[in-house]
């Protein structure tokens, strides 16, 4: 059988073997055939697929979203409007996260500004007070 061992795929894709097994279990990469001795033999395309997954994760796509993108990728000919809508929805989610992160930053900045610059009881720290009282906003 021609192909790559899991170790070779892991090295080429810069992931660990457990990641490959996990991607298999989630249906992101096809389960490869095995040799008579039970070793997996991966096609070289597996490396490209893992790189696809990693790049999509860097752009905050979930594994379920990536699975949908891979399904479209496997079809080759698709309605690209669906991919565009999918991407537009992801942009909206990211914009929401940015607003949420900016709000968290503002709250933390305000709490840090109120924190005394001297040795004092931990309970004089506004951050600790806020967490003790509950809520973060």
Please write the tens of the pLDDT for every residue from 44-93.
999 999 999 999 999 999 999 999 999 999 998 889 999 999 999 999 99
CA 48/CA 39 separation, integer angstroms: 21
Has residue 1 got a pLDDT over 70? no
CA 53/CA 118 separation, integer angstroms: 49
Interval 119-134 mean pLDDT: 82
When divided into structural domains, the chain yields a total of 2
| Percentage of the chain modeled with pLDDT above 90 | 70
- The CATH number of residue 4's host domain is 1.10.1660.10
Three-state SS at 26? coil
Q: Are residues 136 and 87 in the same domain?
A: yes
What are the residues facing 34 on neighbouring strands?
40
Query: What would the pLDDT profile of 9-20 be if each residue is shown by its tens digit?
Result: 999 999 999 999
**Chain-centre distance for alpha carbon 83:** 19
Has residue 134 got a pLDDT over 80? no
What is the sign, positive or negative, of the torsion defined by CA atoms of 66, 67, 72, 74? positive
What are the residues facing 40 on neighbouring strands?
34
Q: Are residues 14 and 57 in the same domain?
A: yes
């Amino acid at each position: 059988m021609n192909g790559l061992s899991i170790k070779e795929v892991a090295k080429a894709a810069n992931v660990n073997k457990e990641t490959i097994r996990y991607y298999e279990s989630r249906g992101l990469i096809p389960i490869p055939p095995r040799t008579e001795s039970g070793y997996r033999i991966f096609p070289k395309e597996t490396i490209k697929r893992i790189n696809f997954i990693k790049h999509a994760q860097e752009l905050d796509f979930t594994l379920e979203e990536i699975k949908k993108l891979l399904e479209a990728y496997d079809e080759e000919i698709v309605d690209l409007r669906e991919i565009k809508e999918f991407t537009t929805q992801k942009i909206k989610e990211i914009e929401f996260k940015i607003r949420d992160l900016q709000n968290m930053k503002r709250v933390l900045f305000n709490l840090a500004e109120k924190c005394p610059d001297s040795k004092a009881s931990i309970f004089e720290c506004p951050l600790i007070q806020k967490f003790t009282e509950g809520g973060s906003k």
